[in-house]
Amino acid sequence: MPHRTATLFDPVHVGELALANRIVMAPLTRNRAPDATPNALMAQYYTQRASAGLIITEATAISQQGQGYADVPGLYAEEQVEAWKDVTRSVHAAGGKIVCQLWHVGRVSHTSLQPHGGAPVAPSAITAKTKTVLLKDGVPVFVDTSEPRALQAYELPDIVHTYVAAARNAVHTAGFDGVEIHAANGYLLDQFLKSGSNQRRDDFGGSVENRARFLLEVVQAVTGAVGGGRVGIRLSPVTPANDAFDPDPQPLFDYVVRELAGFGLAYVHVIEGATGGPRVLPDRSFDYIGLRRAYRAAAGKGAWMVNNGLDKDLAQQVIGGGADLVAFGRPFIGNPDLVERLRKGKPLVESDRTTWYGGGAKGYTDYPTLKTA
């Protein structure tokens, strides 16, 4: 019998997780967690989208030092962990699967968000040419990031331990099905990877192997704590997001995925092109198929997830080309029933950009479904 090409709507096993379909809700920062604590509105928001094969939460800070934006959730204080329980229970009751994205922003922060008003931390003391979001009188305001200080090598093990604590909080206490390590979009782990932000001269800078060292130490520790089958990782080889840049990304990320192959990860989540922008950048060519081949050649068994600028036809093409999962971000904002709309070929609702960051239910939990429209 001829081999049948998988579809977006086929079930799939991803590490320890059995998913109902191959459509993933990508992480989307929405700035609706005052005091860095999840709430009932967030539980409603995620539950509305539980028909996704997998939900990846908005990026969630592993510590106050790791926070870079106003009103984003955390996973380090007891009240935060307890509040996440309501989210995971509600999503599971609706038949969904949900993992928490573990986030340390590094230099993409502001002194007003840091412990005791200190400087953000980074591999090197290089200010990111980007902005972060603060809230003033409930209104999001974009401000320049603050000048960071370079982390000392002796501080890095403590940050690794913070990743582990957050992973344990997520899986062992808060009820998440797993975690995703955020190593993309110019945040701390990506800052270590890329030479534009890492100009260290110690064992964590210089060569590809040294720049990847911190990331691999985090992955080893987190998989050891909760099991590789419940851990994914997000990478963005060429995105310019948050002033991320490396002049030679192919050998860097080929090395990274070959090293990741040995950890038994549930999945590798790759942003192709510029995050939230074009899939092909004229000044930053990259062979994503070659990246996947490098991972598989190193005996990597995790599911391969593709993200950025996908519609239904392109997503199906990606699945037919050998990827296992496809992630949709912004379409999930205005379409809580995105899976059903894609399955039935129905038009998608355009979300209100003015409500993306901060606010309440408007533009968050009030979008219609096909059944309620």
Which one of 69, 187, 267, 367 is the catalytic residue? 187
Please, are residues 228 and 265 in contact by the beta-carbon 8 Å criterion?
yes
Name the token pair of 160: 């690794």
DSSP 274: S
CB neighbours (10 Å) of residue 16?
14
40 alpha carbon, distance to own chain's centre:
22
Cα radius of gyration rounded to whole Å, the chain: 19
For 10, phi and psi rounded to 5 degrees?
Answer: -80, 145
Angle between the N-to-C axes of helices 156-168 and 208-226, in degrees from 0 to 180, rounded to the nearest 10: 30
Cα–Cα distance for residue pair 17/234, rounded to 1 Å:
17
Three-state secondary structure call for residue 141:
strand
Name the token pair of 332: 């999930």
Residue type, 331: P
Active-site residue, 187 included? yes
Please, are residues 18 and 4 in contact by the beta-carbon 8 Å criterion?
no
Tokens 């990331």 sit on residue: 215
Name the token pair of 96: 């969904």
Distant-in-sequence, close-in-space partners of 113: CB < 8 Å, separation ≥ 6: 64, 67, 68, 69, 70, 132, 134
Cα–Cα distance for residue pair 26/35, rounded to 1 Å:
23
Handedness of CA 238, 25, 179, 354 (dihedral sign): positive
3-state secondary structure 168-223: HHHHHHHCCCEEEEECCCCCHHHHHHCCCCCCCCCCCCCCHHHHHHHHHHHHHHHH
Distant-in-sequence, close-in-space partners of 116: CB < 8 Å, separation ≥ 6: none
Catalytic residue numbers read 187
